[in-house]
Amino acid sequence: MLNEAWSYFLYLYGLLYQAIVPCSFPEQLPATTIDRQQYLGKWYFKAAVSRREADIQRFKALDNIWFTMEEKANDTLLLTGHMRIGDNCKNQTWTYTIPPERDDLELQGKPERRNLFWSGKWANCLECIIFQEVEPPLSKTDTEDSLNRFMLYARQSDIDSEVMRAFLKNSACHNMLASVRVPQEKEFCT
C-alpha cells in the first residue's frame, strides 16, 4: 500500500515537475567509441527503474550484488555477478560483444536485446554508470517494448543519498516510476 502511494506521489511529482522544467536526458556512451578500460573492474548494483514492475521484479529478491567487468579478446566483455539472495550466494556470468556497426552491446544468447551504457552524470555521480536493457515488443501489434529498464551501478558500495534521489527523479520524469533499491544489509558474496 505504501509502495503504491509512493508510486502515485512520484508520478504526480513527475508530471508537475515536467510541466515546469523539461526532463533531462542521460548522455549515451556508445560502446564502440568509449574508453572501455575506464569501465573495467568492480561495480556495485544500486537500483533499477522501469515503467513496469515486471521489468524489475527479479531484483527485489536481492540483498546486494556486485560485478566485475573484464575485457576479453575480439571486442568481448565478460560480466560476472556475485549476488546475495537471503543467506545464499549465487554467481552468474554474462558475455557481451561489441558489434562494430552498433552503439550498444550484444548479450550472448539474446541478440534481440539492446544493452546501452549511459553516463552516471544523469544521477549526479561521476563514479557511476547507468546500464539500460531494452527488448522489442513481443508481437508486431504491441506498441511498447517487452523490456525496458535502467540500472544504476557505482564504483563504491555506499553512495550519497543525493545520487539515488537524482536517479529516481530523472527516471520519474520519463514515467519510469517502478523502482527497486537493494538494501545491502548482509555481507557481500565473493
Q: In this predicted model, what pLDDT tens digit does every residue of 27-70 receive, in sequence order?
A: 999 988 888 889 999 999 999 999 999 999 999 999 999 999 99
The reply to whether the predicted model has a pTM over 0.95 is no
Q: E strands along 5-146, which residues?
A: 41-50, 64-72, 76-85, 88-97, 105-107, 110-119, 128-135
Q: In this predicted model, what pLDDT tens digit does every residue of 1-18 receive, in sequence order?
A: 655 666 566 566 656 655
